[in-house]
Amino acid sequence: MANKYQDRFLTDEYVRKLDSAIALSRSNPVEALEVIDRLIVEAPRSPQLWVSKSIITPSKYVSERIDYCNRAIELDDSFYNGYYYLAKNLRLSGTTYCTARHTGARLNMVVQFQEFASIVSKGFDGADEYFAMYPDLFTIDWKDKYDRSLSIQMLGLSLMDRQSTSDSDYAELTKGFSMYNNTDPLTRKILVMYDLIRTLG
């Protein structure tokens, strides 16, 4: 696979178009999603287009993000990006921010996230006290979703096309998986919150 997305159905022309849409998403995500929707019509076999749509879609629509990743996997079950982002979105769906029905509830949580950002800057010192102070940041089934996300990533690693993946790239992917494959509940919460804050920008 020649392109950086490892998508065998994405030509160089569409790589450039997708790159432009991703760049546009930083200032106008709504228009960027419209561009990607048009690209999906033009290149319907590309799984990366669905993954990119998932990434750009706001995290409050996590169910849709999950659906888009599943669509990518349906198109190419050896496409690791689909599994990676499906797993990440499944973990995010275990946060009350992504499942909150009202904007006001999410706005209240943003203040709490700012406190977590301060903890990140201190090397996560005080994370246990933070989560004790805000016990409702995670849904009741978040642990189950986290476990399922690991199974999804493991499946993706087992099915990916190794012939088109360099040893160094594969080593990086497995290293990333190992970071999440941690049994400590506090570490798992830290990883999910860190991903959520990065998603929110």
- Name the nearest CA neighbour of 156 among 90, 94, 86: 86
Q: Give the confidence band of 118 by pLDDT, cuts at 50, 70, 90.
A: confident
Neighbours of 77 (CB within 10 A): 14
User: Is 201's pLDDT higher than 80?
Assistant: no
User: Is 2's pLDDT higher than 90?
Assistant: no
What pLDDT does 108 receive?
A: 79
Q: Give the confidence band of 101 by pLDDT, cuts at 50, 70, 90.
A: confident
Query: 37-41, 63-67, 101-105, 192-196 — which is least confidently predicted?
Result: 101-105
3-state SS assignment for residue 120:
helix
CB 94 within 8 A of CB 145: yes
CA distances from residue 65 to 8, 11, 49, 58, 194 in whole angstroms, order as listed: 22, 24, 12, 8, 18
- Name the nearest CA neighbour of 92 among 186, 193, 177: 193
What pLDDT does 79 receive?
A: 96
What pLDDT does 46 receive?
A: 98
3-state SS assignment for residue 100:
coil
Distance CA 142, CA 147 (A): 9
What pLDDT does 130 receive?
A: 93
Distance CA 187, CA 181 (A): 10
What pLDDT does 122 receive?
A: 86
Distance CA 82, CA 162 (A): 16
pLDDT averaged over the chain? 93
What pLDDT does 155 receive?
A: 98
- Name the nearest CA neighbour of 196 among 3, 188, 22: 188
What pLDDT does 3 receive?
A: 86
Taking residues 113-121, what's their average pLDDT? Answer: 87
The percent of residues above 90 in pLDDT, for the chain, comes to 78
Taking residues 123-145, what's their average pLDDT? Answer: 94
Q: Give the confidence band of 120 by pLDDT, cuts at 50, 70, 90.
A: confident
Taking residues 23-38, what's their average pLDDT? Answer: 97
- With a CB cutoff of 8 Å and minimum separation 6, the contacts of 179 are 191
